[in-house]
Homo-oligomer: A and B are copies of this chain.
Amino acid sequence: MKKKLSIVDIANQLNVSKTTISFILNGRAKEKRISEELVERVMKYVKEVGYKPNSLAKSLRTGKSNTIGLMVEDISNPFFASIARLIEDRAYKNGYKIIYCSTDNDTHKTQELITMFRDRHVDGYIMAPPEGIEEDIIALLKDGMPVVMFDRHLPMVNTDYVEIDNLFSTYNATRHLIDQGYKNIAFVTFASEQTQMKSRVQGYKDALGASNLKQNILEVVFNQNEDLIIEPITDFLTKNKKLDAVLFGTNHIGTCGLKVISAMELSIPKDLAVISFDDYDVFKLHSPPVTAIAQPVEEIADNVITVLLNKLNARMEAQRPQSITLKTDLKIRKSSLKIK
Protein backbone atom coordinates (compact mmCIF):
# COMPACT_ATOMS: atom_id res chain seq x y z
CA MET A 1 0.00 0.00 0.00
CA LYS A 2 1.90 3.02 -1.24
CA LYS A 3 1.13 5.93 0.99
CA LYS A 4 -0.08 9.03 -0.74
CA LEU A 5 2.40 11.80 -1.03
CA SER A 6 1.91 14.97 0.87
CA ILE A 7 2.90 18.52 0.24
CA VAL A 8 5.97 17.97 2.40
CA ASP A 9 7.15 15.17 0.14
CA ILE A 10 6.85 17.46 -2.83
CA ALA A 11 8.63 20.24 -1.01
CA ASN A 12 11.49 17.96 -0.01
CA GLN A 13 11.89 16.50 -3.46
CA LEU A 14 12.14 19.93 -4.99
CA ASN A 15 14.08 21.52 -2.16
CA VAL A 16 11.46 24.18 -1.82
CA SER A 17 9.37 25.23 1.11
CA LYS A 18 5.90 23.75 1.38
CA THR A 19 4.58 27.27 1.75
CA THR A 20 5.77 27.99 -1.74
CA ILE A 21 4.20 24.82 -3.08
CA SER A 22 0.93 25.76 -1.48
CA PHE A 23 0.98 29.26 -2.93
CA ILE A 24 1.72 27.98 -6.38
CA LEU A 25 -0.93 25.30 -6.25
CA ASN A 26 -3.52 27.81 -5.15
CA GLY A 27 -2.75 30.22 -7.96
CA ARG A 28 -1.28 32.82 -5.66
CA ALA A 29 2.13 32.71 -7.30
CA LYS A 30 2.03 36.17 -8.89
CA GLU A 31 0.47 37.73 -5.85
CA LYS A 32 3.22 36.22 -3.76
CA ARG A 33 5.86 37.02 -6.42
CA ILE A 34 7.11 33.51 -6.97
CA SER A 35 9.42 33.36 -9.98
CA GLU A 36 8.07 32.01 -13.24
CA GLU A 37 10.67 29.31 -13.45
CA LEU A 38 9.98 27.97 -9.98
CA VAL A 39 6.27 27.90 -10.69
CA GLU A 40 6.92 25.89 -13.80
CA ARG A 41 9.27 23.50 -12.09
CA VAL A 42 6.78 22.84 -9.32
CA MET A 43 3.81 22.47 -11.63
CA LYS A 44 5.69 20.07 -13.82
CA TYR A 45 6.71 17.89 -10.92
CA VAL A 46 3.28 17.95 -9.37
CA LYS A 47 1.71 16.86 -12.62
CA GLU A 48 4.35 14.23 -13.10
CA VAL A 49 3.81 12.49 -9.78
CA GLY A 50 0.09 13.19 -9.80
CA TYR A 51 0.04 14.91 -6.47
CA LYS A 52 -3.37 15.94 -5.16
CA PRO A 53 -3.66 17.93 -1.95
CA ASN A 54 -5.45 16.13 0.85
CA SER A 55 -8.86 17.69 0.86
CA LEU A 56 -9.54 16.89 4.48
CA ALA A 57 -6.54 18.85 5.62
CA LYS A 58 -7.49 21.62 3.27
CA SER A 59 -11.03 21.72 4.57
CA LEU A 60 -9.88 21.66 8.15
CA ARG A 61 -7.76 24.72 7.60
CA THR A 62 -9.99 26.68 5.29
CA GLY A 63 -13.37 25.74 6.66
CA LYS A 64 -14.61 25.02 3.14
CA SER A 65 -15.40 21.48 2.14
CA ASN A 66 -16.62 21.86 -1.44
CA THR A 67 -19.54 19.75 -0.48
CA ILE A 68 -23.22 20.48 -0.78
CA GLY A 69 -25.78 18.79 1.40
CA LEU A 70 -28.86 17.72 -0.49
CA MET A 71 -31.95 16.70 1.42
CA VAL A 72 -34.97 15.41 -0.40
CA GLU A 73 -38.12 13.75 0.76
CA ASP A 74 -37.21 10.40 -0.71
CA ILE A 75 -34.45 9.79 -3.18
CA SER A 76 -36.31 6.85 -4.64
CA ASN A 77 -39.20 9.04 -5.70
CA PRO A 78 -38.71 9.69 -9.40
CA PHE A 79 -39.32 13.42 -9.07
CA PHE A 80 -36.64 13.83 -6.45
CA ALA A 81 -34.37 11.30 -8.11
CA SER A 82 -34.32 13.24 -11.33
CA ILE A 83 -33.82 16.56 -9.59
CA ALA A 84 -31.00 15.00 -7.61
CA ARG A 85 -29.44 13.67 -10.77
CA LEU A 86 -29.45 17.06 -12.44
CA ILE A 87 -28.16 18.84 -9.37
CA GLU A 88 -25.45 16.23 -9.06
CA ASP A 89 -24.26 16.92 -12.59
CA ARG A 90 -24.18 20.68 -12.20
CA ALA A 91 -22.52 20.47 -8.83
CA TYR A 92 -19.73 18.19 -10.00
CA LYS A 93 -19.12 20.44 -12.96
CA ASN A 94 -18.54 23.27 -10.54
CA GLY A 95 -16.21 21.34 -8.32
CA TYR A 96 -18.74 20.48 -5.66
CA LYS A 97 -19.62 17.10 -4.31
CA ILE A 98 -23.03 16.12 -3.07
CA ILE A 99 -23.90 14.37 0.15
CA TYR A 100 -27.54 13.45 0.02
CA CYS A 101 -30.16 11.92 2.16
CA SER A 102 -33.86 11.33 2.38
CA THR A 103 -35.80 13.09 5.12
CA ASP A 104 -38.99 11.03 4.83
CA ASN A 105 -40.62 14.31 5.80
CA ASP A 106 -39.59 13.47 9.32
CA THR A 107 -38.64 16.50 11.38
CA HIS A 108 -36.54 14.63 13.85
CA LYS A 109 -34.67 12.69 11.23
CA THR A 110 -34.04 15.93 9.39
CA GLN A 111 -32.63 17.57 12.49
CA GLU A 112 -30.18 14.76 12.87
CA LEU A 113 -29.24 15.02 9.24
CA ILE A 114 -28.62 18.73 9.56
CA THR A 115 -26.37 18.05 12.53
CA MET A 116 -24.55 15.51 10.45
CA PHE A 117 -24.17 17.95 7.57
CA ARG A 118 -22.89 20.71 9.84
CA ASP A 119 -20.45 18.33 11.32
CA ARG A 120 -19.27 17.49 7.84
CA HIS A 121 -18.85 21.17 7.15
CA VAL A 122 -20.92 21.24 4.02
CA ASP A 123 -20.64 24.59 2.31
CA GLY A 124 -24.30 24.87 1.45
CA TYR A 125 -27.66 23.23 1.75
CA ILE A 126 -30.27 22.32 -0.80
CA MET A 127 -33.45 20.95 0.62
CA ALA A 128 -37.10 20.17 0.28
CA PRO A 129 -37.78 20.91 3.95
CA PRO A 130 -40.27 19.05 6.11
CA GLU A 131 -42.57 20.95 8.43
CA GLY A 132 -41.35 21.94 11.87
CA ILE A 133 -37.75 22.43 10.85
CA GLU A 134 -37.97 26.24 10.85
CA GLU A 135 -35.81 26.91 13.87
CA ASP A 136 -33.04 24.65 12.74
CA ILE A 137 -32.90 26.39 9.38
CA ILE A 138 -32.93 29.81 11.00
CA ALA A 139 -30.00 28.74 13.14
CA LEU A 140 -28.23 27.63 10.01
CA LEU A 141 -28.84 30.95 8.32
CA LYS A 142 -27.74 32.86 11.38
CA ASP A 143 -24.44 31.08 11.12
CA GLY A 144 -24.09 32.27 7.57
CA MET A 145 -24.81 29.00 5.83
CA PRO A 146 -26.39 29.30 2.38
CA VAL A 147 -29.65 27.41 2.22
CA VAL A 148 -31.71 27.00 -0.93
CA MET A 149 -35.07 25.32 -0.80
CA PHE A 150 -37.03 23.81 -3.60
CA ASP A 151 -40.39 22.17 -4.17
CA ARG A 152 -41.67 24.09 -1.13
CA HIS A 153 -40.54 26.72 1.32
CA LEU A 154 -41.03 27.71 4.92
CA PRO A 155 -42.98 30.95 5.23
CA MET A 156 -41.32 31.84 8.52
CA VAL A 157 -37.87 31.42 7.09
CA ASN A 158 -36.38 34.10 4.94
CA THR A 159 -34.21 32.27 2.48
CA ASP A 160 -33.90 31.55 -1.23
CA TYR A 161 -36.20 29.07 -2.83
CA VAL A 162 -37.20 27.73 -6.21
CA GLU A 163 -40.76 26.65 -6.64
CA ILE A 164 -43.43 26.14 -9.21
CA ASP A 165 -46.73 27.87 -9.51
CA ASN A 166 -48.63 25.27 -7.53
CA LEU A 167 -51.83 27.17 -7.13
CA PHE A 168 -52.22 27.92 -10.80
CA SER A 169 -51.21 24.37 -11.70
CA THR A 170 -54.05 22.69 -9.86
CA TYR A 171 -56.42 25.52 -10.65
CA ASN A 172 -55.69 24.99 -14.28
CA ALA A 173 -55.94 21.23 -14.08
CA THR A 174 -59.25 21.40 -12.23
CA ARG A 175 -60.47 23.97 -14.73
CA HIS A 176 -59.58 21.54 -17.48
CA LEU A 177 -61.73 18.85 -15.88
CA ILE A 178 -64.60 21.26 -15.42
CA ASP A 179 -64.33 22.35 -19.02
CA GLN A 180 -64.60 18.73 -20.04
CA GLY A 181 -67.89 18.59 -18.21
CA TYR A 182 -66.90 16.83 -15.01
CA LYS A 183 -68.93 17.89 -12.00
CA ASN A 184 -67.81 15.69 -9.16
CA ILE A 185 -64.13 16.24 -8.88
CA ALA A 186 -62.14 14.93 -5.94
CA PHE A 187 -58.69 15.94 -4.78
CA VAL A 188 -56.43 13.42 -3.09
CA THR A 189 -53.47 14.85 -1.26
CA PHE A 190 -51.12 14.35 1.63
CA ALA A 191 -52.20 15.76 4.95
CA SER A 192 -49.62 18.48 5.08
CA GLU A 193 -49.07 22.09 5.99
CA GLN A 194 -46.29 22.39 3.45
CA THR A 195 -46.60 25.39 1.19
CA GLN A 196 -46.73 23.47 -2.04
CA MET A 197 -49.47 21.14 -0.82
CA LYS A 198 -51.53 23.97 0.58
CA SER A 199 -51.29 25.85 -2.68
CA ARG A 200 -52.28 22.79 -4.61
CA VAL A 201 -55.38 22.33 -2.50
CA GLN A 202 -56.17 26.01 -2.83
CA GLY A 203 -55.89 25.94 -6.60
CA TYR A 204 -58.34 23.07 -6.67
CA LYS A 205 -60.73 24.88 -4.32
CA ASP A 206 -60.52 28.11 -6.27
CA ALA A 207 -61.40 26.43 -9.51
CA LEU A 208 -64.34 24.59 -8.01
CA GLY A 209 -65.51 27.71 -6.23
CA ALA A 210 -65.49 29.70 -9.45
CA SER A 211 -67.86 27.14 -10.93
CA ASN A 212 -69.90 26.56 -7.79
CA LEU A 213 -68.98 22.93 -7.59
CA LYS A 214 -68.68 20.93 -4.41
CA GLN A 215 -65.29 20.12 -2.92
CA ASN A 216 -64.34 16.58 -2.09
CA ILE A 217 -60.93 16.19 -0.56
CA LEU A 218 -59.15 13.16 0.78
CA GLU A 219 -56.04 13.61 2.83
CA VAL A 220 -53.79 10.63 3.32
CA VAL A 221 -50.87 10.43 5.67
CA PHE A 222 -47.37 10.53 4.22
CA ASN A 223 -45.85 7.12 4.58
CA GLN A 224 -43.15 4.99 3.07
CA ASN A 225 -45.49 2.05 3.14
CA GLU A 226 -47.66 2.14 0.06
CA ASP A 227 -50.41 0.04 1.56
CA LEU A 228 -51.19 2.80 4.03
CA ILE A 229 -51.84 5.10 1.10
CA ILE A 230 -53.70 2.63 -1.06
CA GLU A 231 -56.10 1.64 1.68
CA PRO A 232 -57.68 5.05 2.37
CA ILE A 233 -57.90 5.78 -1.33
CA THR A 234 -59.70 2.50 -1.90
CA ASP A 235 -62.07 3.40 0.91
CA PHE A 236 -62.62 6.84 -0.48
CA LEU A 237 -63.33 5.75 -4.02
CA THR A 238 -65.61 3.00 -2.80
CA LYS A 239 -67.65 5.36 -0.69
CA ASN A 240 -67.87 8.16 -3.26
CA LYS A 241 -69.54 6.48 -6.16
CA LYS A 242 -70.72 9.73 -7.70
CA LEU A 243 -67.22 10.96 -8.39
CA ASP A 244 -66.50 11.41 -12.05
CA ALA A 245 -62.97 12.79 -11.81
CA VAL A 246 -60.05 12.85 -9.42
CA LEU A 247 -56.96 14.98 -9.15
CA PHE A 248 -53.96 13.47 -7.38
CA GLY A 249 -51.69 15.84 -5.52
CA THR A 250 -48.33 14.14 -6.13
CA ASN A 251 -46.82 11.49 -8.35
CA HIS A 252 -46.72 9.06 -5.48
CA ILE A 253 -50.37 9.51 -4.65
CA GLY A 254 -51.19 9.40 -8.32
CA THR A 255 -49.40 6.11 -8.73
CA CYS A 256 -51.14 4.64 -5.72
CA GLY A 257 -54.40 6.01 -7.05
CA LEU A 258 -53.91 4.24 -10.35
CA LYS A 259 -53.25 1.02 -8.51
CA VAL A 260 -56.53 1.40 -6.68
CA ILE A 261 -58.39 2.26 -9.85
CA SER A 262 -56.88 -0.73 -11.56
CA ALA A 263 -57.73 -3.01 -8.65
CA MET A 264 -61.30 -1.71 -8.58
CA GLU A 265 -61.48 -2.25 -12.31
CA LEU A 266 -62.67 1.24 -12.95
CA SER A 267 -62.31 2.52 -16.46
CA ILE A 268 -60.43 5.75 -17.13
CA PRO A 269 -61.88 8.18 -18.10
CA LYS A 270 -65.30 6.58 -18.52
CA ASP A 271 -65.85 5.79 -14.85
CA LEU A 272 -63.36 8.27 -13.57
CA ALA A 273 -61.22 10.92 -15.21
CA VAL A 274 -57.73 11.27 -13.75
CA ILE A 275 -55.10 13.94 -13.50
CA SER A 276 -51.99 13.71 -11.38
CA PHE A 277 -49.36 16.14 -10.26
CA ASP A 278 -45.87 15.38 -11.60
CA ASP A 279 -45.32 13.68 -14.89
CA TYR A 280 -43.35 10.52 -15.38
CA ASP A 281 -43.22 7.27 -17.27
CA VAL A 282 -45.99 5.60 -15.31
CA PHE A 283 -48.44 8.28 -16.45
CA LYS A 284 -47.14 8.51 -19.99
CA LEU A 285 -47.32 4.78 -20.53
CA HIS A 286 -50.56 4.12 -18.75
CA SER A 287 -53.51 3.07 -20.87
CA PRO A 288 -55.05 5.43 -21.35
CA PRO A 289 -52.16 7.83 -20.78
CA VAL A 290 -52.75 9.97 -17.73
CA THR A 291 -52.99 13.74 -17.93
CA ALA A 292 -50.35 15.17 -15.66
CA ILE A 293 -48.95 18.42 -14.39
CA ALA A 294 -45.35 18.29 -15.52
CA GLN A 295 -42.80 20.12 -13.42
CA PRO A 296 -39.84 21.63 -15.27
CA VAL A 297 -37.26 19.51 -13.46
CA GLU A 298 -34.29 20.76 -15.44
CA GLU A 299 -35.21 24.35 -14.86
CA ILE A 300 -35.73 23.70 -11.18
CA ALA A 301 -32.36 22.02 -10.83
CA ASP A 302 -30.65 24.73 -12.85
CA ASN A 303 -32.12 27.51 -10.82
CA VAL A 304 -31.42 25.83 -7.53
CA ILE A 305 -27.78 25.24 -8.28
CA THR A 306 -27.30 28.66 -9.83
CA VAL A 307 -28.73 30.41 -6.81
CA LEU A 308 -26.64 28.33 -4.48
CA LEU A 309 -23.41 28.79 -6.40
CA ASN A 310 -24.01 32.53 -6.46
CA LYS A 311 -24.35 32.58 -2.73
CA LEU A 312 -21.28 30.45 -2.29
CA ASN A 313 -19.18 32.72 -4.47
CA ALA A 314 -20.52 36.02 -3.22
CA ARG A 315 -18.84 35.75 0.12
CA MET A 316 -20.70 37.71 2.72
CA GLU A 317 -22.25 40.18 0.32
CA ALA A 318 -25.65 39.36 1.66
CA GLN A 319 -27.99 39.84 -1.22
CA ARG A 320 -31.49 39.42 -0.11
CA PRO A 321 -33.09 36.06 -0.75
CA GLN A 322 -34.61 35.36 -4.11
CA SER A 323 -37.75 33.41 -4.65
CA ILE A 324 -38.15 31.93 -8.06
CA THR A 325 -41.42 30.56 -9.33
CA LEU A 326 -41.49 28.42 -12.44
CA LYS A 327 -44.35 27.39 -14.67
CA THR A 328 -45.66 23.88 -15.02
CA ASP A 329 -47.04 22.25 -18.10
CA LEU A 330 -50.38 20.48 -18.11
CA LYS A 331 -49.86 17.47 -20.35
CA ILE A 332 -53.35 16.74 -21.52
CA ARG A 333 -53.96 13.11 -22.37
CA LYS A 334 -56.92 10.89 -22.93
CA SER A 335 -57.50 10.18 -19.28
CA SER A 336 -59.06 13.56 -18.69
CA LEU A 337 -60.93 13.99 -21.94
CA LYS A 338 -64.66 13.50 -21.83
CA ILE A 339 -65.58 10.70 -24.12
CA LYS A 340 -68.91 10.75 -25.81
Q: List A residues at the B interface (Cβ < 8 Å).
A: 1-2, 52, 54-57, 59-60, 65, 74-76, 78, 81-82, 84-85, 88-89, 92, 97-102, 115-116, 119-121, 142-144, 255, 258-259, 262, 281-282, 284-287
Chain B residues, CB < 8 A from A120: 55-56, 97
Chain B residues, CB < 8 A from A92: 101
Distance A259 CA – B75 CA, assembled complex (angstroms): 25
Task: Tell whether, in the assembled complex, residue B54 and residue A57 are in contact, meaning their CB atoms are under 8 Å apart.
Answer: no
Distance A53 CA – B57 CA, assembled complex (angstroms): 15
Task: Tell whether, in the assembled complex, residue B85 and residue A102 are in contact, meaning their CB atoms are under 8 Å apart.
Answer: yes
Distance A89 CA – B75 CA, assembled complex (angstroms): 11
Residue on B nearest A115 in the bound complex, by CB: B52
Main secondary structure of the interface of A (DSSP, over half): helix
Task: Tell whether, in the assembled complex, residue A56 and residue B60 are in contact, meaning their CB atoms are under 8 Å apart.
Answer: yes
Task: Tell whether, in the assembled complex, residue A76 and residue B85 are in contact, meaning their CB atoms are under 8 Å apart.
Answer: yes
Distance A56 CA – B54 CA, assembled complex (angstroms): 11
Task: Tell whether, in the assembled complex, residue A285 and residue B284 are in contact, meaning their CB atoms are under 8 Å apart.
Answer: no
Q: Nearest chain B CB to A83's CB is how many angstroms away?
A: 9
Chain B residues, CB < 8 A from A82: 76
Chain B residues, CB < 8 A from A55: 119-121
Task: Tell whether, in the assembled complex, residue A88 and residue B115 are in contact, meaning their CB atoms are under 8 Å apart.
Answer: no
Chain B residues, CB < 8 A from A78: 76, 78, 81
Q: Nearest chain B CB to A53's CB is how many angstroms away?
A: 8
Task: Tell whether, in the assembled complex, residue A286 and residue B284 are in contact, meaning their CB atoms are under 8 Å apart.
Answer: no
Known: A56-B120, A56-B121. 10 other contacts (CB 8 A): A1-B143, A56-B59, A75-B75, A75-B88, A92-B101, A97-B99, A98-B101, A99-B99, A255-B285, A286-B287
Task: Tell whether, in the assembled complex, residue B76 and residue A101 are in contact, meaning their CB atoms are under 8 Å apart.
Answer: no
Task: Tell whether, in the assembled complex, residue A119 and residue B54 are in contact, meaning their CB atoms are under 8 Å apart.
Answer: yes
Q: Nearest chain B CB to A147's CB is how many angstroms away?
A: 14
Residue on B nearest A3 in the bound complex, by CB: B143
Distance A88 CA – B113 CA, assembled complex (angstroms): 12
Q: Nearest chain B CB to A56's CB is how many angstroms away?
A: 5
Given A2-B143, A142-B1, residue A65 in contact with residue B56 (CB < 8 A): yes
Residue on B nearest A100 in the bound complex, by CB: B100
Residue on B nearest A57 in the bound complex, by CB: B60
Chain B residues, CB < 8 A from A282: 281-282, 285
Task: Tell whether, in the assembled complex, residue B102 and residue A88 are in contact, meaning their CB atoms are under 8 Å apart.
Answer: yes
Given A59-B56, A285-B262, residue A84 in contact with residue B75 (CB < 8 A): yes
Q: Nearest chain B CB to A1's CB is how many angstroms away?
A: 5
Q: Nearest chain B CB to A66's CB is how many angstroms away?
A: 9
Distance A92 CA – B115 CA, assembled complex (angstroms): 13
Residue on B nearest A80 in the bound complex, by CB: B81
Distance A296 CA – B92 CA, assembled complex (angstroms): 31
Chain B residues, CB < 8 A from A76: 78, 81-82, 84-85
Distance A119 CA – B95 CA, assembled complex (angstroms): 13
Chain B residues, CB < 8 A from A284: 259
Chain B residues, CB < 8 A from A259: 284-285
